[in-house]
Amino acid sequence: MNFSRPITSLIKERTSRRTYDPLVLNPEDIKLMKKAMLLEDIKTPFSKYTGNCRFSLVSVPEFDPNEQKRIGTYGLIKGARQFIVGAVEKSNYDREHFGYLMEVILLYATDLGLGTCWLGGFFNRSLFSEKINATPNEIVPAISPIGYFPKKRRTKEKIIRAAIKADNRKPWEQIFFKDKFNNPLSELDSKDYSTLFEMVRIAPSASNRQPWRILKEHKNNIYHFYTVKAKGFYEQMVALDIGIAISHWDLSAKEMGITGEWDIKQLDLDRSENLKYVISWIGN
């Protein structure tokens, strides 16, 4: 997939849009988005552990009037006429894989000047599963409205953003560490990787909780990715969130020419009862 601007710029620019002009995408934008959703040559660190993942552009005007009433975004989204909907085959890393791929698509939409918003909880899952013809072996972890948006946010949208502190991010010392989880990693310690860490830090997440943690091995160029353990439905959101964060690291590294490999390892490092190990990046 080709972006017209640096991926780091798009990551910084992308923000959740909850209010849209009531217009469908023009034919050229539809063509470009459909091509982007094919995800040609895009692989994730979880690709070898998962099954097929596919995305489709779903148009609300084509819904039955009764279906339009039960989209299920509960007033959080206004004016959206189209949605990006994805389905992934069930597997151990299905949501992590899905999160990575859908973020790639949303960043491409940002490159086109289109608005998007991650929705992992507040939507009618069964309705959108039906619209994408999801099989019993597939799940629909999240959707996103897509479209043109007004310059000014509506009052309700501003209230929502303020409530979840959408513009705030945890500082480095709370999410990045060296050797031990009581030893924060400073920006000076990160050296050539500082941009990658920052792209992870500003990644979107459910309720802006930023559930990822990275532990760097002091004497090695190895970085271990963890998530804060969660229960119930939010556990599924955490899996999506780490997929998004890892996409930011991986895409930025490729753009900057920083090479390395992803691997799921058996670790003998500092352990925390509150954290779950996910994957490691081994830099070259």
Residue 121 contacts by C-beta under 8 Å, 6 or more apart in sequence?
A: 206, 233, 237
- For the record, the structure tokens of 87 come out as 């389905």
My answer on whether 191 and 259 are in the same domain is yes
- Specify the pLDDT at position 273: 77
Would 164 be classed as within a structural domain?
Answer: no
Contact, 44 vs 36, CB < 8 A? no
Question: What confidence tier does 226 reach under pLDDT thresholds 50, 70, 90?
Answer: very high
Q: What is the pLDDT of residues 8-24, one digit of tens each?
A: 999 999 999 999 999 99
227 in a structural domain: yes
- Could you give the CA distance from residue 64 to residue 61 in angstroms, rounded to a whole number? 8
More confident residue, 254 or 272: 254
pLDDT at 161: 59
Predicted confidence (pLDDT) at residue 165 exceeds the cutoff of 80: no
CA distance 117 to 187: 30
Please check whether residues 206 and 145 belong to one and the same domain: no
Quote the mean pLDDT of the chain. Answer: 91
Identify the residue with better confidence: 215 or 157: 215
Q: CA angle, 248 as apex, 170 and 216 as ends, to 5°?
A: 65
DSSP designation for 259: -
Give the CATH number of the domain where residue 47 resides. 3.40.109.10
Q: Band the pLDDT of 154: cuts 50, 70, 90.
A: low
Query: Is pLDDT above 60 for 207?
Result: yes
Conformational region of residue 210, where left means phi above 0, alpha means psi within -120 to 50, and beta covers everything else = left
Residue 3: Cβ-neighbour burial (10 angstroms; 0-12, 13-18, 19+):
middle
pLDDT 10s digits, 120-152: 988 999 999 999 999 999 999 999 999 999 977
**Number of domains forming the structure of the chain:** 2
d(CA 9, CA 14): 9
Identify whether residues 20 and 136 lie together within a single domain. Answer: yes
pLDDT in tens, 54-103: 999 999 988 888 888 788 776 689 999 999 999 999 999 999 999 999 99
By residue range, what is the domain housing residue 219? 172-283
Mean pLDDT of the 30-51 span? 96
